[in-house]
């Protein structure tokens, strides 16, 4: 576990640096609608952008208003400070207005060598997949021309195979959390997952398999009073989960932009890799940016609560997040209507207010009679 923790200390970790030295081309992204498998083709390497240990956003605050979420501001701060200097390209999704402002400012302040906006529709209809195929084809052509990488169907199929193999391992570790006495804590799982998202998959996979072997031999992960699900947008710091678990609530399930439910699904192949990836994007992503998708999201959460025997749900939102902030109001009511206890927490991207977080979580668990 220590290794995975170390991989999260810098936005460009040692495996990442090694891969770059070996000729891999890291492409940064920050939205789940960017299919990871797509950026695993040939020499490409997807890197989920994060800003570990960000101490302040003084410079980014000059360009982005205080009403822009701190995740966006933290990414800009790191970009301005050249903390992403080895990343050779960025793929954005206009998932929210905040991310769009990040793109605008990056273009102006520290223009990446390669940047692309993947225009993802907000509604799933018959035309959506056709649109997404066109978008991914354009991106493939652009990547191929810029980096001289093989984005052919055969190359994409190889990438999808690698992704599917990787996602299946993560899924099987995630399945352990359904047990009545899970052998893995939520903190460990989140650390592993985040490390997986910021490292080259082929290099981290053997280490994940070693961890899987060790964890499967455990009887349990310790004594806990309640089983919790945590959900929200970009939660990158495992310490947030650690504080929740320090109060006796084992986090057995999560639904984050960077989480495993339903994020680490294997890609269902339909003969055409780009079409398969286009369909995959909408299946594996449950985001409040999508129109008329609330019921599907709610059903997934309710099903997860039942499947993982969750006692209560913690909704965490980054302050000023337009999407999750607004969505959470309806979500809290809908879940309570189903008899599911809910705690809503507002936070900043970086950890802070530990004492208050402890008190809220402890009181939440106590209020459930646990």
In the complex with other proteins, the residue whose CB is nearer, 106 or 361, is 361
Q: Give dist(CA 73, CA 78) in Å, integer.
A: 9
Distance, CA of 202 to CA of 331 (rounded, Å): 37
> Closest CB to other proteins among 275 and 360?
360
Give yes or no for residue 370 binding other proteins (CB under 8 A). no
**What is the token pair recorded at 359?**
């008190």
Instruction: List, in sequence order, the alpha helices (H) in the chain.
Output: 2-7, 14-21, 60-63, 70-80, 97-109, 126-147, 153-175, 186-197, 201-216, 238-246, 273-284, 294-307, 322-337, 354-367
Place of tokens 């959900």: 231
Binding mask 307-346 for other proteins (x = CB under 8 A): ---------------------------------------x
Q: Find the binder of other proteins among 152, 158, 212, 362 (CB under 8 A).
A: 362
Stretch that binds other proteins, among 73-81, 152-160, 294-302, 353-361 (CB under 8 A): 353-361
As a whole number of angstroms, the distance between CA 15 and CA 47 comes to: 11
Q: Give the residue with the Cβ less far from other proteins, 243 or 251.
A: 243
11/341 with CB nearer other proteins: 341
Q: Is residue 47 classed as helix, strand or coil in its secondary structure?
A: strand
CB of 235 to other proteins, least distance (A): 18
Residues 278-297 that bind other proteins (CB under 8 A): none
Q: By the 8 A CB rule, do 190 and 238 touch?
A: yes
In this complex, which beta carbon is closest to other proteins, that of residue 154 or of residue 363?
363
Q: Which residues contact 62 (CB under 8 A, 6 or more apart)?
A: none
Q: How far is the C-alpha of 151 from the C-alpha of 44, rounded, in Å?
A: 10
Span of 178-186, 219-227, 292-300, 361-369 interacting with other proteins by CB under 8 A: 361-369
Whole-angstrom distance, CA of residue 20 vs CA of residue 88: 10
Which of 22, 104, 107, 366 touches other proteins (CB under 8 A)? 366
Q: Of the candidates 23, 271, 339, 369, which one interacts with other proteins according to CB under 8 A?
A: 369
Least distance between other proteins and beta carbon 35 (Å): 36
Q: Which of 158, 334, 353, 370 binds other proteins (CB under 8 A)?
A: 353
Nearer to other proteins, 246 or 272 (CB): 246
Instruction: Give the number of residues in contact with other proteins, rule: CB under 8 A.
Output: 13
Query: What residue has token string 């960077």?
Result: 258
Contact with other proteins (CB under 8 A) among 142, 275, 358, 370: 358
Residue 337: other Cβ atoms inside 10 A = 9
Q: Which spans of this chain sit near other proteins (rule: CB under 8 A)? A: 346, 352-353, 355-356, 358-360, 362-363, 366-367, 369
């Amino acid at each position: 576990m220590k290794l995975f923790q170390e991989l999260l200390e810098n936005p460009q970790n040692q495996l990442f640096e090694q891969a770059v030295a070996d000729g891999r081309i890291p492409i940064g992204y920050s939205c789940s609608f960017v299919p990871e498998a797509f950026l695993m083709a040939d020499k490409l390497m997807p890197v989920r952008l994060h800003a570990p240990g960000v101490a302040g956003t003084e410079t980014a605050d000059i360009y982005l208003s205080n009403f822009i979420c701190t995740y966006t501001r933290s990414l800009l701060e790191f970009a301005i400070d050249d903390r992403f200097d080895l990343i050779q390209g960025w793929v954005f999704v206009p998932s929210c207005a905040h991310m769009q402002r990040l793109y605008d400012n990056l273009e102006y302040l520290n223009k990446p060598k390669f940047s692309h906006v993947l225009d993802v529709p907000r509604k799933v209809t018959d035309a959506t997949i056709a649109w997404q195929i066109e978008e991914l084809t354009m991106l493939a052509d652009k990547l191929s021309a810029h980096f001289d990488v093989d984005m052919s169907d055969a190359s994409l199929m190889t990438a999808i195979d690698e992704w599917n193999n990787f996602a299946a391992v993560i899924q099987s570790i995630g399945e352990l959390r359904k047990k009545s006495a899970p052998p893995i804590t939520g903190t460990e799982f989140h650390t592993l997952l985040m490390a997986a998202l910021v490292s080259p998959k082929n290099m981290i996979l053997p280490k994940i398999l070693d961890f899987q072997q060790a964890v499967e031999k455990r009887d349990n992960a310790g004594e806990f009073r309640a089983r919790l699900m945590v959900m929200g947008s970009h939660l990158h710091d495992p310490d947030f989960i650690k504080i929740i678990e320090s109060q006796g609530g084992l986090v057995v399930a999560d639904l984050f932009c960077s989480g495993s439910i339903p994020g680490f699904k294997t890609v269902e192949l339909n003969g055409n890799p780009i079409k398969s990836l286009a369909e995959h994007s909408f299946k594996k992503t449950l985001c409040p940016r999508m129109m008329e998708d609330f019921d599907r999201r709610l059903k997934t959460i309710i099903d997860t609560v039942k499947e993982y025997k969750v006692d209560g749900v913690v909704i965490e939102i980054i302050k000023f997040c337009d999407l999750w902030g607004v969505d959470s109001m309806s979500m809290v009511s809908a879940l309570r209507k189903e008899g599911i206890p809910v705690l809503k927490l507002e936070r900043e991207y970086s950890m802070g207010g530990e004492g208050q977080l402890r008190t809220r979580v402890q009181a939440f668990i106590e209020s459930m009679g646990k």
